[in-house]
A = this chain, B = another copy of it.
Amino acid sequence: MSELESTAGPVRVLVWGENRHEQLQPEVAKIYPEGMHNTIRQGIEENLGHKAKVTTATLDDPEHGLTEEVLSATDVLVWWGHAAHAEVADEVVERVHAHVLAGMGLLVLHSGHWSKIFGKLMGTSCTLRWRSERDREIVWTVDPTHPIAQGVPHPFIIPEQEMYGEFFDIPAPDELVFLSSFSGGEVFRSGCTFKRGFGKIFFFSPGDQDYPVYHHKDVRRVIANGVEWARTERPERTSPVLLRYETEDFYNGHGYKGAMQN
């Protein structure tokens, strides 16, 4: 009797933070004294315990802390950026993109909607409407059996938060997990999943440098759920390929030697 193997060991999570607001704005540093990436990391550890091994990296690390070696050892990358999207090197974006298509999970948080990596994966402008005026955000579950929605009340309430509103220019998500309303009357598709290549992506909009959202119990739980969900189900990390297959040979594709390589 053989049993289904499950993906072995704790999920290896890398929380990437831009880490600029915390350095430049005392009011942000007050909310996130160890940096937003560390607060996010703690929220994941708090919920996943020994089931996760969480590290961090920031924009100002060499290669933004996102070397080939680091990414190869990462199951799920969590991305927070805002003021310095343009400073992320294109070469690193290409590298992260290749890893996502090959099976690395990706969580994109809040203002990461306008990061290079999210735009590259979505193919759209990822624009939206916004206002930072201490709106109350109410987060509603519309996919109650989804693993990402477990363990949080329906709805959960964020007392003060930046407003993100529709139209949000993304592809129709594979799964719509959460919808948010704001006290000003706007709505937003605040929890969306996508698959791209062999990678799983979760976009979750709550979270901002000006509000203590990453200290919010339910937000932390959702991010931890998202990390568990985004780990790929495939045992190996390989890229989708273009191969020629002989008739009746379904398994041994031959490397393409066509015009694209020239």
Q: Are B46 and A1 in contact (CB under 8 A)?
A: yes
Cβ 8 A contact of A125, one of B101, B183, B248: B101
Q: List chain B residues, Cβ under 8 A from A9.
A: none
Chain B residues lying within 8 Å of A175, measured Cβ to Cβ, are: 172, 174
Docked CA distance A242–B120 (Å):
17
Which residues on the B side are within 8 Å of A124 (C-beta)? Answer: 101, 196-197, 240
A161 interface contact, C-beta 8 A: no
A245 with B114: CB separation less than 8 A = no
Tell me whether A239 and B184 are in contact (CB under 8 A): no
Q: Which of B1, B155, B200, B250 contacts A138 (CB 8 A)?
A: B250
Chain copies in complex: 4
User: Contact between B120 and A123 (Cβ–Cβ < 8 Å)?
Assistant: yes
On whether the beta carbons of B260 and A1 are closer than 8 Å, the reply is no
Would B49 and A245 count as touching, CB distance under 8 A? Answer: no
Cα–Cα distance between A10 and B144 once the two chains are bound (Å): 22
Chain A: how many interface residues by the 8 Å CB criterion?
A: 103
A123–B181 touching, CB < 8 Å: no
Contact of A169 among B101, B125, B165, B259 (CB under 8 A): B101
Evaluate contact between A144 and B198: CB separation under 8 angstroms: yes
A51 at the interface (CB under 8 A from B): yes
Residues of A with Cβ closer than 8 Å to B? 1-5, 45-51, 82-86, 101, 103, 114, 120-125, 127-131, 133, 135-136, 138, 140-147, 149-151, 153-155, 157, 163, 165-169, 171-172, 174-176, 179-187, 189, 194-200, 221, 224-225, 228, 232-235, 239-248, 250-251, 253, 258-260, 262
Q: A4-B48, A149-B233, A154-B167 are in contact. List 6 more A-B contacts (CB 8 A).
A: A3-B47, A129-B244, A145-B195, A145-B233, A169-B197, A185-B248
Q: Top 4 closest A-B pairs, CB basis?
A: A83-B259, A169-B240, A3-B49, A127-B242
